[in-house]
Structure 1
Amino acid sequence: MHTSHTSRLDPATAVFDHVHPAGEPWTHTLRRGQVLRIIDLEGNQAVDTLFYNADDTAESYSAADTLQRQGGVYLGAGSVLLSNRARPMLSIVADTCGRHDTLGGACAAESNSVRYAPEKKYMHSCRDNFLLALARLDQGMGKRDLAPNINFFMNVPVTPQGGLTFEDGLSAPGKYVELRAEMDVLVLVSNCPQLNNPCNAYNPTPVRFVIWDQEA
């Protein structure tokens, strides 16, 4: 597990500060050098996130390249998020949670029905949030542009047999992760609406996004 690494940045000097409702999508363009802090306001909220090159959205976050380069399956302070062209997109420069999942994927109608029950198929899901947000962007992006995402604050241990288990989160109120953009990045978030597993304590809650122009 990555160790805790706090930030020196002061929200009073931020250029953007937004509390985002539980279960809703969010998009934002982060400029190179800007720092984004994602704050888990109430604890155990999963923040499903994808990143794209803002100037060429065919280039996106790659779980495979990132995990291979860092030699581990969890993200934390010091991790560099690589694109599908093996280029650095963002660096995690601060992290007080210590573990973020990049294997569990986003909840979807199909996974809701398979994992839980057929009648759960039409529950609100992160995949639907992603597609809704991309439609609102009106940049011609859609299903083909979705890739395996990061689940910030989510705890998905890997078993000795190589399987995944969805467990109660390791986060707590006020925990945060901070990322510095290494290129202009389009951020796509689903503040997870999942009600069927303990990763968010069965209770989706708001998160806070804070952005600085550069590290102080």
Structure 2
Amino acid sequence: MSADRPGRRTYVQPAAYQSLPGGPLDPDRGFYAEVAAAPRTLTRQFEVPVRPGQAWEVSAGSIVRISAVDGPQVGDLNLWNLHDPQERFWAARTRQLQRASMTTYDRFWSTLPNLRPMATVVGDSLAGHPDAEVIHDLLGTRCDPYVNRMLTGVDFDRHCHSNLTRAVRDHGLKESDIHDVLNVFQLAGLNENREYFMDTCPTQPGDHFEFFAEIDLLCALSTCPGGDLSLRMWGPEAATPEEQLQHCHPLGVEIFSVDAQALRGWRQPETAAYRSVEGR
């Protein structure tokens, strides 16, 4: 530890979770850079409008791009194995294995007993932003109507949890399948009192976040009802949902197939080798 101010200490220890060079936490950056730069073909394109959610399927080997369309907007993202939704994105473990926010070459890890990369980030237009270390937040999770009711005494069903729940119903999933998210484009972290904060989303039209699907995926994205989060959502200075609406924008989604030559030698990650819950 080292002191950064009287009475404060900064931890400088290395990351707890590490692998050997070339191991599972050291992906082949050359390969993913080649994938990101390879010729690609747009196979689907749509916008998620202000305040709902949308789900879509993605084939392994594809790239998904989420973009700011006409203004700053936060999006809450869930991922499932398309063929087995019990395998889904594990935000807490990803936070340990990668970092508290995601950027290029970080991976979306799946739940036990699978524990494998579901997707790998291959593009992030905000990677060079001065606040990049706290953008694309993994510390927080989706806003939900239960907490909103607890804090405000008011029912409001356009929270990200609600949007994601509605988005996946046609795919046979239910509310309990919604899980902790990646907050795409969200600037958030811990303040000096170690309290969770959110600040104004820094995106501009055209900013994007891209990931490469390592397996067949079901994805769901909610456009957060807080929009760019420039207005407080709770507390004595909270804006009304109508006031927050003025700060909301759609998000664009594009799905690309990648030139086969760039995928030579690539194969879908296998599930975890460990199989005995008895520890033998």
Unaligned runs of 5+ in 2: 1-32, 128-134, 233-242, 263-280
Corresponding residue for residue 186 of structure 1: 218
Matching residue's letter, 2:161: R
Residues 45/136 of structure 1: CA separation in 2 closer, same or farther (3 Å cut): same
**Could you say what secondary structure the match of 2:198 adopts?**
coil
- 2:153 matches 1:118: yes
Structure of higher RCO (CA pairs closer than 8 Å, 6+ residues apart): 1
Quick check: which has more Rg, 1 or 2? 2
Please list, as runs of the form range in 1=range in 2, the aligned pairs for 1:77-96 lying within 5 A after superposition: 77-84=104-111, 85-96=114-125
Q: Distance in 2 between matches of 1:199 and 1:43?
A: 15
* Count of aligned positions: 205
Corresponding residue for residue 197 of structure 2: 165
Q: Distance in 2 between matches of 1:20 and 1:197?
A: 18
TM-score scaled by length of structure 1: 0.85
TM-score scaled by length of structure 2: 0.67
Q: CA contact under 8 A between 2:201 and 2:228: conserved in structure 1?
A: no
Structure 2 residue aligned with 1:42, among 53, 58, 70?
70
**CA displacement 1:120-161 (0-9 Å, x = unmatched):** x32521111111112222x1x212212111110011122244
**Could you say what secondary structure the match of 1:154 adopts?**
strand
Unaligned runs of 5+ in 1: none
- For residue 111 of structure 1, report the CA deviation from its aligned partner: 2.4
Identity %: 23
Residues 197/112 of structure 1: CA separation in 2 closer, same or farther (3 Å cut): farther
Corresponding residue for residue 136 of structure 1: 170
**Could you say what secondary structure the match of 1:133 adopts?**
helix
Range moving further from structure 2, 28-37 or 167-176: 167-176
- 2:171 matches 1:127: no
- For residue 163 of structure 1, report the CA deviation from its aligned partner: 2.0
**Could you say what secondary structure the match of 1:204 adopts?**
coil
- For residue 114 of structure 1, report the CA deviation from its aligned partner: 4.1
Q: Distance in 2 between matches of 1:166 and 1:9?
A: 35
- For residue 95 of structure 1, report the CA deviation from its aligned partner: 0.4
Q: CA contact under 8 A between 1:154 and 1:199: conserved in structure 2?
A: no
CA RMSD in angstroms comes to 2.4
Please list, as runs of the form range in 1=range in 2, the aligned pairs for 1:13-92 lying within 5 A after superposition: 13-70=41-98, 72-84=99-111, 85-92=114-121
Q: Distance in 2 between matches of 1:210 and 1:177?
A: 11
Q: CA contact under 8 A between 1:25 and 1:133: conserved in structure 2?
A: yes
Q: Distance in 2 between matches of 1:28 and 1:58?
A: 17
Q: Distance in 2 between matches of 1:86 and 1:199?
A: 37
- 2:248 matches 1:204: yes
Matching residue's letter, 1:207: L
Q: CA contact under 8 A between 1:46 and 1:199: conserved in structure 2?
A: no
Residues 177/199 of structure 1: CA separation in 2 closer, same or farther (3 Å cut): farther
Matching residue's letter, 1:91: T
**CA displacement 1:76-116 (0-9 Å, x = unmatched):** 1111110013200000001002320122211111222345x
Q: Distance in 2 between matches of 1:37 and 1:9?
A: 14
Matching residue's letter, 1:40: A
**Could you say what secondary structure the match of 2:202 adopts?**
coil
Q: Distance in 2 between matches of 1:118 and 1:196?
A: 24
Matching residue's letter, 2:100: V
